[in-house]
Amino acid sequence: MILIACVDDDGGMMFNKRRQSRDSAVTKRIADISAGGVLWVSGYTEELFADLGCSNIRVADDPALCAGPGEFCFLEETSPGEFADRAEKLVIFRWNRRYPSDVKFDIDPDEKETVDGYRWKKESSADFAGTSHEKITEEIYTK
Amino acid sequence: MRMSIKKTAALSVMIVCLLFTGCGTGAGSSVSGSSASAAGSSSASASQDTAAVSSVLQEQQQTSSPSRKTFSLKHIPAFKNKPYVTVNGNDPTFTKKQLTAKAYEHYSPLDSEGRCGTAVASIGKELMPTEKRGSIGSVRPTGWHLVKYDIVEGKYLYNRCHLIGYQLTGENANSRNLITGTRYLNVDGMLPFENMVADYIKETGNHVLYRVTPVFKGENLVASGVHMEAESVEDHGKGISFNIYAYDAQPGVKIDYATGDSHLTGKSAGSSDTGGADKNARGTYIINTNTGKFHKPSCYVLSRTKDKNKKKYKGYRKKLIEEGYEPCKICNP
């Protein structure tokens, strides 16, 4: 599974059952990188892609449980830590802003050695301007 | 540029002001608005907009109104080094009638003690600033003291805190919108919410009804905290919806809210968990010698860290940073 998430400076993802932030440039980027593969999302996340006509989207209540090897999963509502063992790659979009949060991104990709033996290696990091965010950072990690 | 938008909305402002005065809710109230969002709307919807604005403004004067009843300082737990708590299950208490896509902003007149009251706005892009913030140093809110502590980020305990942040309505030195607030309230309590609302509006072009009320106990000159509510209008709260109370407190500092006087507490030195992003606090931290990051002892990232890579540290957070360690972005120690 290629796990995708958006994260703020405090490692937050959601607050009060709502995403912290959104940017159509990020949505487009996710659609682009997952094109040609399968992209698993929840019903809540699906609405972001409504105008993009993505035919590769699959909707499930627990998208991270459904995504198989090599398939993409854009996770918004659930902390991804419990799925870390099944993720072969992380794509993290950093807002470079602080928002309130009550759901956290609980994988520390800088952790080189863990009890489960995960080792994440930063493959790339690139900044781009969003439609409403000055600087968004896309980071890719592999095991 | 923003001012010119406001001027072109003079008619809308006049309607609101007349209506406001007509309700007998206080001469001298500051209301401004923009008709930009209402362009093309029918007279019927314009009438609904005006009723919505009126409803919110009237409510500021009526402590017995249903939504005002839901908040009481009695129900707020004591400050425990967390910048805010949710109120009413995190649901804002606006009525449907109050939610309007007509942009406006209202700042209550200062009370007899010179203290700010509720600030409320239906914020859209048309109210957001197009210029960098100007000086606000000419305003001296009640309880203001220029006091510095080494444990406070930026050293100054107090900031002139905007009730409605500059990035939202572009208000500079408006004495009705500035209170004496701690650095912690400003940066850790209020700013994340302002950021979330500002970015939502920029992305969607929608409006957000936003209300901030400084909460003063008795005749205190410094607010105990601020009650913040917001709800996105066009999508009926689907994008933005919160109801929180942010503490006007600073970890490690004791504040006399009656006067604004303050002193360091000994307690903070022995605190086991600093909480939030109090960047110069003291406490117990767990260093991951493998990653060079330090965490709160309760951080769940540590559950997947090997014990041999964990090192306990008690002392100044600042020292850890000086030694090259980075705070964990997940637990924000």
Q: Which structural domains are found in chain A, ordered by start?
A: 2-142 (3.40.430.10)
Token pair 């309880």 in the structure block, residue: B143
pTM: 0.81
Work out whether strand A89-94 and strand B262-264 pair parallel, antiparallel, or are unpaired.
Answer: unpaired
Give CA–CA dist B178/B165, Å, rounded.
9
Nearest-CB residue to A99 (from B196, B241, B244): B196
Nearest-CB residue to A108 (from B191, B277, B328): B328
User: pLDDT tens track of chain B, all 333 residues?
Assistant: 444 344 344 334 434 433 433 333 333 445 555 533 333 333 334 555 667 767 776 665 554 444 455 678 889 999 998 999 999 999 999 999 899 999 999 999 999 999 999 999 999 999 999 999 999 999 999 999 999 999 898 899 999 999 999 999 999 999 999 999 999 999 999 999 999 999 999 999 999 999 999 999 999 999 999 999 999 999 999 999 999 999 999 999 999 999 999 999 865 443 434 444 555 677 889 998 888 888 888 777 787 778 888 898 988 888 888 888 888 877 778
Decide if A99 and B202 are in contact by the 8 Å CB cutoff.
Answer: no
Decide if A16 and B196 are in contact by the 8 Å CB cutoff.
Answer: no
Taking only residues 11 to 50 of chain B, the set having a beta carbon closer than 8 angstroms to any beta carbon of chain A reads none
Looking at residue A137, its pLDDT comes to 98
Chain A residue numbers with beta carbons less than 8 Å from the beta carbon of B324 are none
**Which sign, positive or negative, has the C-alpha torsion B145, B194, B31, B107?**
negative
Nearest-CB residue to B301 (from A23, A108, A112): A108
Residues of chain A falling short of pLDDT 70:
113, 115-116, 118
Tell me the H-state helices in A41-143.
Answer: 43-46, 63-66
Give CA–CA dist A80/B100, Å, rounded.
37
Task: Output the six-digit token pair for B99.
Answer: 């939610």
The nearest CA of chain B is from the CA of A113 a distance in Å of: 7
> How many residues make up chain B in this entry?
333
Looking at residue B319, its pLDDT comes to 86
CB-CB contact of B124 with B187 (8 Å): no
Buried-exposed string B184-210: b where 16+ CB fall within 10 A, e elsewhere = bbbbbbbbbbbbbbbbbbbbbebbbbb
Chain B residue numbers with beta carbons less than 8 Å from the beta carbon of A114 are 304-306
The nearest CA of chain B is from the CA of A92 a distance in Å of: 13
Looking at residue B280, its pLDDT comes to 62
Decide if B191 and A100 are in contact by the 8 Å CB cutoff.
Answer: no
User: For residue A125, what is the enclosing H or E element?
Assistant: strand A121-128
Looking at residue A134, its pLDDT comes to 97
**Which sign, positive or negative, has the C-alpha torsion B115, B170, B228, B37?**
positive
Nearest CA in chain B to A105: B330
Decide if B300 and A131 are in contact by the 8 Å CB cutoff.
Answer: no
CB-CB contact of A40 with A74 (8 Å): yes
Chain A residue numbers with beta carbons less than 8 Å from the beta carbon of B238 are 18
The nearest CA of chain B is from the CA of A133 a distance in Å of: 7
pLDDT tens figures, B168-227: 999 999 999 999 999 999 999 999 999 999 999 999 999 999 999 999 999 999 999 999
Looking at residue B268, its pLDDT comes to 46
**Which sign, positive or negative, has the C-alpha torsion B50, B52, B57, B63?**
positive
Give CA–CA dist B116/B213, Å, rounded.
8
Nearest CA in chain A to B230: A16
ipTM over 0.90: yes
Looking at residue B109, its pLDDT comes to 97
Decide if A81 and B300 are in contact by the 8 Å CB cutoff.
Answer: yes
Query: Which phi-psi region, left, alpha or beta, contains residue B314 (left: φ > 0; alpha: ψ -120 to 50)?
Result: beta
Nearest-CB residue to A132 (from B90, B192, B202): B202
Looking at residue B297, its pLDDT comes to 85
Looking at residue B315, its pLDDT comes to 86
Task: Output the six-digit token pair for A21.
Answer: 């932030």
Chain A residue numbers with beta carbons less than 8 Å from the beta carbon of B329 are 7, 9-11
Decide if B330 and A108 are in contact by the 8 Å CB cutoff.
Answer: yes
Chain A residue numbers with beta carbons less than 8 Å from the beta carbon of B287 are none
The nearest CA of chain A is from the CA of B249 a distance in Å of: 18
Chain A residue numbers with beta carbons less than 8 Å from the beta carbon of B228 are none
Q: Is B75 helix (H, G, I), strand (E, B) or coil?
A: helix
The nearest CA of chain B is from the CA of A55 a distance in Å of: 24
Q: CB of B140 within 8 Å of any CB in chain A?
A: no
The nearest CA of chain B is from the CA of A117 a distance in Å of: 9
Query: Which phi-psi region, left, alpha or beta, contains residue B29 (left: φ > 0; alpha: ψ -120 to 50)?
Result: beta
